[in-house]
Amino acid sequence: MTTVRAEDREGGVRLLTLDRPPANAITPQLLSDLSGAFDDAREVDAVRAVVLTGAGRFFSAGLDLRGGIDFGASVSPAAGTDPFAALRTCLLNFLRFPKPTVAMLGGHAIAGGLILVLASDYRLGLDPAHSDPLGTRSRRGESNDYRIGLNEVEIGASFPRSALEIVRLRLSHRQASELLLGAAIYPANQAVRLGVVDELVPAETFEATVMRRAARLGAFPRDAYAHTKGALVAEAIARIEGETTEEAQRTAAVWMMPESVAARAEQAKRLGS
């Protein structure tokens, strides 16, 4: 069963929804499904733009620490493999996708989940300050109050080059430093200030606005859009592709340092898992 649902909307927009309950956490399977969904959308001429979102209360909680990557095995001298290969392949496919990509952020996006948001060309978030008359509920019946952040440093995780290059591509140095080195989890009302989204949209018009903006981008001459987008991401792609297996293993080895392991154990205890 796929972890990414596809639905075609008006105006040539294809909606991709991460659907791996309860938190759309990232596994090699989800990365493969997402990459495959981009491949499919690339080949369908009628698809002019893609919107990416998450099912339920999460856009994505980031890497599934229990079903993601076996860092202990992957960083051993005998392994000889890139522990981040699945992530790198998916993110490169995301960046190379020639059509417009729009993130529809209406739920928690933490760590690698926020990287998927930032990989999108254009990003719109649900405004937590605007709720319906009955209280703090969106049209989908979910709380508008969600969290965002890149907390890898707090839990002893190093950043794969593919993820780091996306942060550098989308954010200013000040924004990247605050998110990466501060490792805090922020309320959604900070998303514009941090550069995570371009705009926060009230719940009553959120989905319609996202689809309308995506359709507008998709209506541009496709070769012109693809050429300009390719030029904007070319340097980031080159740096990602330039990473060697040995460099990726050294990055992954940080996850297995004693303080890193202890930090994740403490986090697991706090979360009650």
Name the pLDDT band for 266 (thresholds 50, 70, 90): confident
* pLDDT score recorded for residue 74: 54
The mean pLDDT of the chain is 91
Q: pLDDT for 147-187, tens place per residue?
A: 999 999 999 999 999 999 999 999 999 999 999 999 999 99
Residue 218 amino acid letter: G
Structure tokens at 245: 């297996």
Cβ-Cβ contacts under 8 Å for 100 (sequence gap 6 or more): 48, 49, 50, 121, 122, 214, 217, 218, 220, 225
Listed residue (14, 87, 23) closest to 54, CA to CA: 23
* pLDDT score recorded for residue 272: 67
- Look at residue 68 and tell me whether its pLDDT is greater than 80: no
Q: How far apart are CA 217 and CA 89, in angstroms?
A: 25
Name the pLDDT band for 135 (thresholds 50, 70, 90): very low
- Look at residue 108 and tell me whether its pLDDT is greater than 50: yes
* pLDDT score recorded for residue 28: 95
Determine phi and psi for 81, rounding to 5 degrees.
Answer: -120, 160
Cβ-Cβ contacts under 8 Å for 1 (sequence gap 6 or more): none
